[in-house]
Amino acid sequence: MATLASSDIDILERAKRALAPDYVPSEDEEYMSPSQQDYFRMLLLEWKRSILASSSATLQSLQDGPLREPDLNDRASSETDWSIELRTRDRQRKLIAKIDSALRRIEAGEYGFCEVTGDPIGLKRLVARPVATMTVEAQEAHERREKVSRDD
């Protein structure tokens, strides 16, 4: 299963803490009630805002100028660090597209339901991965099909 990178998880956790701590979606209320939709909308918007803020710091560092390490080993280390940072930002760029898609699904009334089966995805899964589009079972079946086609 595709997982979030640890920095993405940290950003998501900070976004959850930034929300009003007095409400957490509960199994006791109607699934995808207006209050649940508002919670996930605010969570997604805060997550996106946090990602964009961390990305702007990286962009500022890149604009400050190239690294000019006199030692070849130091230069290689710095270039490796930048390469990792840029890959992380690319992953986050793709994540922002998924967040935007989830926000559109909320507006369309489709958020929280599996795009394959139409079944509820479940609150626990959505709290853990707000951009989920499939139930755990549908996601596992999808990944098994992908693995079989890659092995061929």
Q: How far apart are the first and last CA of the chain?
A: 20
| 29-52 tens-digit pLDDT | 999 999 999 999 999 999 999 888
Q: Which pLDDT belongs to residue 14? A: 73
Give the phi and the psi of residue 142 in degrees, each rounded to 5.
-60, -45
The pLDDT value recorded for residue 66 is: 58
Q: Which residue ranges of the chain lie beneath pLDDT 70?
A: 1-8, 19-21, 58-69, 151-152
For residue 103 the two structure tokens come to: 């926000």
113 neighbors 100 (Cβ within 8 angstroms): no
Specify the pTM. Answer: 0.77
Q: 136 burial class (0-12, 13-18, 19+ CB within 10 angstroms)?
A: middle
Which pLDDT value is given to residue 68? 67
From CA 12, how far away is CA 23, in angstroms rounded? 17
- pLDDT value, residue 2: 40
| Beta bridge mates, 120 | 113
- Helix then strand then coil, in percent of the chain rounded to 5, is 65, 0, 30
Structure tokens that stand for 147 in this block: 């693995």
Domains belonging to the chain, first-starting first, are 6-66+74-111 (1.20.120.910)
